[in-house]
A = this chain, B = another copy of it.
């Protein structure tokens, strides 16, 4: 992956090529051995006026004439691209597949970017009526607080932990530690969410190479196996959901993923979850079954989700501190977990991590993708 952050000196195509070349090198391959490519990208059409980005990337990486495909599922674009790559290998159609994710977001001003990101929700029924994404997640936070007694301190504890983790990750956008007090005193964006409850606007790219396990072993000393890939959908608009304090698509995808991997939540050593807002991480660790419903906030405040806790959540710094270049996030989660399972997450290594889980959400939860990774 590239460093996540503000890349004023690099264009869209530079970012993804940097990440892609690193991934292909790490896999022990030459570019001409790759037989298909996928790229997760949400909004290049609006952000940089460019569609057809898979073809653009293949061209500039010298990967022609292999088939390359862009996948879009809002903020879950990266995770969904990973799943398509997984199926391309599983179908027997391709042996070596590169999966990238990229977003270049800083070239427009924040208001324009916010409007474009609104395309992840229901433009006609939500955004056009004045809702914003911080607003939608604020509704979920309010309801979670009402139902389970979750507090603003608990929300803040997610951000504090993820900045602490980010401070250990050279690829993270933010490497500064923060305190609960700083979060609580930061500017309100959409009550109860404050500036430090929100993930930033980020440029960045990430990539991985997939292959059948037996083949991967011949090329890489430490291949990591994808033991489950599951995805589910829910209503695009929040107002159509049965409950606001959970992401049902995550619950359904997680259930399928655990069945596919033949493991349970207790077996997970390290997880990258979708903390676009602090409340999202609390819902995620509950919906994934890592903590009981309603106890995610308390567990976070008690330090049970940090390095050295029961299950390390977002060792990369998460979307909050590592940054959230939308289409890249789901692939970055796979990169971080690969490093963790290989024992190569220097400065933030979870001791003896064997099983990692990634959860990537699109919009306010209309798409959720769960992957489980295992040391081979």
Contact = CB atoms under 8 A, between A and B. Distances in A.
A226 to B, nearest CB: 12
A59 B366 contact: yes
Interface in A88-105: 88, 90-93
Interface stretch (A21-29, A44-52, A295-303): A44-52
13 contacts: A44-B119, A51-B74, A52-B366, A53-B72, A55-B366, A59-B233, A59-B234, A59-B237, A64-B232, A66-B233, A71-B71, A72-B72, A91-B91
Contact of A69 (B55, B73, B229): B73
Contacts of A65: 232-234, 248-249, 252
B56 A236 contact: yes
A59 B249 contact: no
A80 interface: yes
Name, among A49, A65, A92, A127, the residue most crowded by chain B CB atoms within 10 Å (CB to CB). Answer: A65
Contacts of A154: none
A333 interface: no
Given A67-B83, A87-B93, 6 more contacts: A50-B119, A58-B233, A65-B233, A65-B234, A67-B369, A68-B367
Contacts of A56: 122, 236, 366
Interface size class of A (residues with CB under 8 A): 35 or more
B72 A55 contact: no
A90 to B, nearest CB: 4
Given A52-B121, A52-B236, A80 B73 contact: no
Contacts of A71: 69-72
A129 to B, nearest CB: 13
Interface in A327-376: 362-363, 366-367, 369
B362 A55 contact: yes
Nearest to A74: B52
Contacts of A167: none
Contacts of A91: 87-88, 90-92
A14 B121 CA distance: 17
A327 B229 CA distance: 27
Nearest to A75: B52
A55 B367 contact: yes
Q: Give the residue among A235, A240, A362 with the most B Cβ atoms within 10 A.
A: A235
Contacts of A92: 90-91
A231 interface: yes
A151 interface: no
A54 interface: yes
